[in-house]
Amino acid sequence: MASLADESIIAEFVAESREHLSTIEPDLLAMEELGAKVSQEVINRVFRAIHSLKGGAGFFAFESLKRLSHTMEGVLMLVRDGKLHPTPEIMDRLFSGVDRLRAMLDDIHASDTVPIEKELAALKLILEHQGISPDARVLARSKDPSHPGFDLGAEEVRSAIKRGMRIYHAVAYLHRDIAEQGLTPVAFLNNALSVGQCLDAFIDIGAIAGLEECLEQDLPVSLLYGSVLEPDLASVALRLPQNQITALDMAQIKKQLKATAPAPSPAPQPVAPVFQAAEAAAPAAPSEPAEEAAPLAEAPTARGGAAGKDTGNETLRVRVDLLTGLMNLAGELVLGRNQLFRALAGKNRMVPGLGAILQNINQVTSELQEGIMQTRMQPIGTIFSRFPRIVRDMSRSLNKQIEVEIKGAEVELDKSIVEMLADPLTHIIRNCADHAIEAPAERKSVGKNPTGRILLNAYHEGGQVCIAVTDDGRGIDPKRVLQKAIAKKLVDANRAAEMTDREIVNLVFAPGFSTVDTVSEISGRGVGMDVVRTNTEKLGGHVELETRLGEGTTLLLSLPLTLAIIPSMIVGVEDQRYAIPQVNVVEFVWVRAAEVATRIESVHGAHVLRLRDQLLPLVRLADVMGFTRTFLDPASAERVPDRRGSLADRRAEAAGDPGNRIEDRRKDWRSDHNIVVLRVGSNQFGVVVDELFDIEEIVVKPMSSFIKGCRCFSGATILGDGSVIMILDAAGLAHHAQLHFADLQADEKRRQEEESRKAAIAASRRRSVILFTAAEDERFAVPQDQVLRLERVPVSAIERLGEREYMEYRGEGLPLLRLDQQLEVSPIPAGLKDVFVLIPKITRNGVVAKAPAGLLISSILDALDVDVELKPVDVKGAGILGSAMVQDHLTLFLDPGEIMRASGTLGGNA
C-alpha cells in the first residue's frame, strides 16, 4: 500500500496505533491483577484499541498486523464475554502480542516480515481450547462473498470525521470510468488517494456471468471515500460523473456512531451495517445502527488516555514537526519583540500611541508563545505508564514481588524533555527492580513486606519539575561502593579516606561504575547511572541521590519545564555578556569592597563567601572564561590588568607606602563584588561577575557542534540588541571550577565545632566575680551568679550558740560559717566593728531556695569581670575551684554552695 497510500496517513495510523498500545498497557496490567474481577470498562478499552488497530491494518493491507490483532481480539472477546479469565498465562500471551504489534509498528512497511507465528500459535491455542477456530470470524463477517459490503471499523470512520472529511459513496465502473479514461486500476486509486482517503472498496460481482461473457460486462467498484472536498469537487477529483458520487449524511453518521453505545460489548464491528444500505445504484443514508461501535466520547485521546472526555471536535492531532516549527517561530517573534523594544526604548513620547501599541505587541507575543509552548507539553504519565509493565516483566523473571505506584502523572513537561527522560528513567527503574528490591525471602527475614515498592512521583517545585523515584529496597552501602570504586580505579585510596558518605554514594554516577558482580540481561553493565546523570544534565536538570542502608533509596531528578524559552539573568564580565537561567539563580549578593576582607575567605586555596553562617564557594566568571581580569584604575579612569590573585586580598594596607596613590583601591566602591548565587541540586555556589543587567526571556538556540563539549554552556541566545551570547550551565560551571561542596561542608562543620569548643573554653575563663578578703592579704573570689546577697553586719549583731554563730535574717536565725573553719586559710582579724555576710544563691530544681547559711568575710574589694585560667592549689578544703592572679594578687576562687554542702548546712544536693 505504500506506493498508493499517502505516507502521512500511514504515519498517522502508526502514531495512533502506538498510542493505543501504550494506553492499554495499564489496562492489561489491571486485567492481570484483578483477574475475573476486572471491570468491563477496562476490557472494552483494550478491545477497542486492538480492534481499531486491526481495522487500520486491514485498510492499509498490513497483513501480519491485521492477523495478530485479529487473533488477540478473539481472545479478548472471550475475556469480555466471561468465558475466559485473564490469568497471568493468558495475559503473558496478550502482552507478547502487544510487544509484537509494537515491533511491527516500528517499521510498518516491513511489518509483514516480522515473525508472528509464535505469538499467533500461543493465542490460537487459547481460542482452540475454547472450541473456537481462530480464522472463522474473518469469514463469518462476509455474509455473502459476492456482496462483501464495506468492512471497516467505526474507528476509521471517526478518524476521517475527526480530520474534517466528508464521506462519499462512489461507484466507478472498471471499463467506463477506468479503462476508457486511459487509467489502470492502480492509477485510478492513486488519483483517488491523492485527494482523500479510500476507507474501503469492493467489486460487486453478484451480476457477473462467468468466463464466457465476463469481458462484456462493466463491473462496478464501490468506494467508501473520505475527503475534505465538496461533492462537486470530489466528482472532478475522482474523475467520476456526479451521479455516481453520493455524499453520505454526516449528521446521521455521527449520530449513529454516538448512538451505538459500546456496552456491554464493543465487538469487532465493521461499519458495514451502517453503510450497507448504501447500495451502489442509489447510495443512501445509513439505515441501521452499528451494533457495537465504541462511542466517540470514550475513544482514547493523546492527552487524556482512556479516561479522556474529548469529543472529536475538541482535540486535533498535529504533527510534532509542525509544532516545533511554530515553537521556533514563536522564539523568533520573542526575539523580534525584544529587539523592537530595545530599538524604540525612550521614543514612546515621540510617536503618539506607540506605548500602547508596544504593550499590545508585548502581551500578544507572550500569550502566543505561552500557548504554543503549551501545545508541546506532555504529561509525564506518558513515560510513567510504561514502567508498571517493565517492572511486571522483571518481577516475574527475577522471582520478586514488586509494586509500582505512580503519583503526579498529570505533571506536564515539554515533549522533548519527556522523550529524553525515557532512557534515564528506564535505567533507574531497572536498577530499582534488579538491585535495590530484595527477594521476598530476604525482605521477610529483615522484617519487611515481601512485596517491594517503587514509587514514581512527579511534582512542581521552585519552577522546576521534580521526579522522585523511591524504592524500599536495601539501600546503597557506602563501604561496598567505595570498595568497588577503588577496585575499578575510579578513586584512589588517599582520596577515598577523605570522602564523605554522600560523596561515596554519588560515585554510582561515575562512568563504568557497578556494584554487581555479574552482568545480567537486565542490568549490571555499569552504564545506567552515568546515562541518568548525563541525560538529565543535558536537559538542564540535575540528579540527587538519597539512600539509607536497609531502608531504600530515592533518586531525585529536577528538570526545567521547557528548553525553548526561559527567563534568564543577563550578567556581564569583562565586556562580555552571559545568560544564567533564572531557575538556577537563588539570590544576588553585593559585597562592598570594604567588606571583602571580612566576608570572603580562603579555604583550601579556594574563595568562599560567608553568607548567613554558611560558606559559599565562589567562582570568578572571568577566570572560568579565561579572560585577563581588569579593574578600573581610580587614578587614570582606565581599565588596567588586575594582578591580584585573591579576592580576599589581606595584604597590609599601603597607607604608609610612599607609592600609594590617593587611597587603597581595595576600598574603592568600584571594587565592590557582584555575586550571583546559583543552585545546583542541594548545593549552592557564587559566581563573581562584573555587572548585573536585567532578567530577559531568552530563546534557547542549540550550540554549534564545535563547542558542544564545553560543559560551561548549555546553549546560546540572541539578545534584543541582536548580539549573540552564551547561556551558562550552572552544573557545568561548578564542575569546571572543581568545586568540592562536601569538603566545604565538612570544613564548615569542623570550624563550627572548633568555634563552639573555643567559646565553651572562653566562657569558662570569663566570669564575673566578687573579690573579697577574710584575713588581710588573702584574697578570695566567688562567681557573682552564685551570690544572692551581701549584707554588712555589725559584729555585735552576731550571736553565738555553742560553737555556732547566727544572725537574724528576714526574721529568722541564719547560721554563719567562717572560711577558716572550712578551709586552710587565715581567720578574720579581731577588733572589726563590721563584717560582711555573703549569702549564697542556692537553687533547687531551678528555683532559688532559702539560703541555709551565710559566709562571714571581712571586706569586699571589687566586683569585676575577669578572664583567667584557674590553676590547682594545694590549699585543702571543699569548694575551692582553683587559683588565678587577679589584679596582681593570687586569688582563691571558691564555690560557696560546695562550701555549704561540705559544712553540712546544705543537706541534700543543691
Partner 1 sequence: MVAQTPGQADSNCIRIASGGNLVASTVEERRKAAMEALTVPCTEAVLDLATAEVVDSLGITLILGLFKTCQQRRITFRVEGASPDLMRVFKLFSLPKLFPIQER
Q: How far is CA 419 from CA 102, 373, 380, 539, in A?
A: 17, 16, 9, 11
| Position among 123, 189, 499, 615 found at the interface with partner 1 (CB under 8 A) | 189
Q: What's the min distance (Å) between Cβ of 224 and partner 1?
A: 11
Q: What's the min distance (Å) between Cβ of 53 and partner 1?
A: 17
Residue span binding partner 1 (CB under 8 A) among the ranges 80-88, 196-204, 236-244, 298-306: 196-204
- Answer whether 371's CB lies under 8 Å from 329's CB: no
464: cell is 522546576
895: cell is 564555690
Short-list 372, 566, 382, CA closest to 464 = 566
Residue span binding partner 1 (CB under 8 A) among the ranges 138-146, 442-450, 571-579, 672-680: 138-146
18: cell is 502506538
| Position among 32, 73, 151, 472 found at the interface with partner 1 (CB under 8 A) | 151
Site for partner 1 in 165-184 (CB under 8 A): 174-175, 178-179, 184
The dihedral formed by the CA atoms of 507, 509, 510 and 512, expressed in degrees to the nearest 10: 120
Q: How far is CA 643 from CA 345, 630, 647, 648, in A?
A: 39, 8, 11, 13
291: cell is 451494533
| Position among 210, 352, 626, 645 found at the interface with partner 1 (CB under 8 A) | 210
Q: What's the min distance (Å) between Cβ of 185 and partner 1?
A: 5
Query: How many angstroms from the chain centroid is the CA of residue 347?
Result: 44
**3 touching partner 1, by CB under 8 A:** yes
Q: How many amino acids of this chain bind partner 1 (CB under 8 A)?
A: 34
**186 touching partner 1, by CB under 8 A:** yes
Cβ proximity to partner 1: between 181 and 582 the closer is: 181
Q: What's the min distance (Å) between Cβ of 116 and partner 1?
A: 16
Cβ proximity to partner 1: between 146 and 756 the closer is: 146
Cβ proximity to partner 1: between 3 and 399 the closer is: 3
Paired sense of beta strands 576-581 and 565-573, if any: antiparallel
DSSP code, position 491: S
| 91: Cα within 13 Å, side-chain hemisphere | 24
Short-list 506, 759, 500, 739, CA closest to 603 = 739
Q: What's the min distance (Å) between Cβ of 506 and partner 1?
A: 56
Q: Any bridge partners for residue 168, and if so which?
A: 225, 247
φ/ψ (deg, to 5) at 893: -90, 130
Cβ proximity to partner 1: between 151 and 778 the closer is: 151
Cβ proximity to partner 1: between 190 and 362 the closer is: 190
Q: What's the min distance (Å) between Cβ of 15 and partner 1?
A: 22
**297 touching partner 1, by CB under 8 A:** no
| Position among 185, 462, 722, 827 found at the interface with partner 1 (CB under 8 A) | 185
Q: What's the min distance (Å) between Cβ of 205 and partner 1?
A: 5
Residue span binding partner 1 (CB under 8 A) among the ranges 193-201, 256-264, 368-376, 634-642: 193-201
Site for partner 1 in 116-135 (CB under 8 A): none
Cβ proximity to partner 1: between 219 and 654 the closer is: 219
Opening angle at CA 624, ends 619 and 626, nearest 5: 140
**276 touching partner 1, by CB under 8 A:** no
| Position among 55, 148, 270, 408 found at the interface with partner 1 (CB under 8 A) | 148
| Position among 96, 142, 265, 328 found at the interface with partner 1 (CB under 8 A) | 142
| Position among 132, 201, 486, 522 found at the interface with partner 1 (CB under 8 A) | 201
The dihedral formed by the CA atoms of 656, 659, 663 and 668, expressed in degrees to the nearest 10: -120
Query: Under 8 Å CB-to-CB from 539, ≥6 apart: which residues?
Result: 417, 420, 421, 559, 560, 563
Q: What's the min distance (Å) between Cβ of 166 and partner 1?
A: 20
Cβ proximity to partner 1: between 152 and 619 the closer is: 152
Q: What's the min distance (Å) between Cβ of 66 and partner 1?
A: 10
Q: Where are the alpha helices (DSSP H) in 679-768?
A: 730-736, 741-765
**110 touching partner 1, by CB under 8 A:** no
| Position among 123, 221, 621, 884 found at the interface with partner 1 (CB under 8 A) | 221
Query: Under 8 Å CB-to-CB from 350, ≥6 apart: which residues?
Result: none
**114 touching partner 1, by CB under 8 A:** no
**Torsion sign across C-alpha atoms 561, 564, 569, 572:** positive
Q: How far is CA 587 from CA 611, 677, 679, 748, in A?
A: 11, 5, 9, 21
Cβ proximity to partner 1: between 68 and 402 the closer is: 68
Residue span binding partner 1 (CB under 8 A) among the ranges 206-214, 305-313, 581-589, 746-754: 206-214
**140 touching partner 1, by CB under 8 A:** no
**143 touching partner 1, by CB under 8 A:** no
- Answer whether 83's CB lies under 8 Å from 119's CB: no
Q: Based on DSSP, count helices (H) and strands (E) in the chain, helices before strands.
A: 27, 37
**509 touching partner 1, by CB under 8 A:** no
Query: Under 8 Å CB-to-CB from 747, ≥6 apart: which residues?
Result: 603, 604, 615
**881 touching partner 1, by CB under 8 A:** no
| Position among 114, 132, 195, 219 found at the interface with partner 1 (CB under 8 A) | 219
Q: Which helix (H) or strand (E) holds 545?
A: strand 542-548
Cβ proximity to partner 1: between 59 and 836 the closer is: 59
- Contact string (CB under 8 A) for partner 1, positions 356-385, x = contact: ------------------------------
317: cell is 492531532
What does the alpha-carbon distance between residue 339 and residue 356 come to, in Å, rounded to a whole number? 17
- Answer whether 452's CB lies under 8 Å from 523's CB: no
| Position among 42, 198, 335, 571 found at the interface with partner 1 (CB under 8 A) | 198
| Position among 140, 215, 637, 801 found at the interface with partner 1 (CB under 8 A) | 215
**195 touching partner 1, by CB under 8 A:** no
**202 touching partner 1, by CB under 8 A:** yes
3-state DSSP percent of the chain in helix, strand and coil, to 5:
40, 25, 35
Q: Which helix (H) or strand (E) holds 453?
A: strand 452-461
| Position among 11, 121, 136, 209 found at the interface with partner 1 (CB under 8 A) | 209
Q: What's the min distance (Å) between Cβ of 236 and partner 1?
A: 21
Q: What's the min distance (Å) between Cβ of 145 and partner 1?
A: 5
Cis peptide before 827 (omega within 30 of 0): no
- Answer whether 197's CB lies under 8 Å from 165's CB: yes
Paired sense of beta strands 452-461 and 464-471, if any: antiparallel
DSSP code, position 832: -
What does the alpha-carbon distance between residue 432 and residue 426 come to, in Å, rounded to a whole number? 10
| 824: Cα within 13 Å, side-chain hemisphere | 5
305: cell is 488516555
Q: What's the min distance (Å) between Cβ of 180 and partner 1?
A: 9
Q: What's the min distance (Å) between Cβ of 5 and partner 1?
A: 9
Amino acid at 108: I
Residue span binding partner 1 (CB under 8 A) among the ranges 210-218, 388-396, 667-675, 864-872: 210-218
What does the alpha-carbon distance between residue 243 and residue 281 come to, in Å, rounded to a whole number? 9
Cβ proximity to partner 1: between 227 and 470 the closer is: 227
- Contact string (CB under 8 A) for partner 1, positions 46-75, x = contact: ---------------x--------------
Residue span binding partner 1 (CB under 8 A) among the ranges 79-87, 209-217, 582-590, 717-725: 209-217
Interface with partner 1 by CB under 8 A: which residues? 1, 3-4, 61, 142, 145-146, 148, 151, 174-175, 178-179, 184-186, 189, 198, 200-203, 205, 208-215, 217, 219, 221
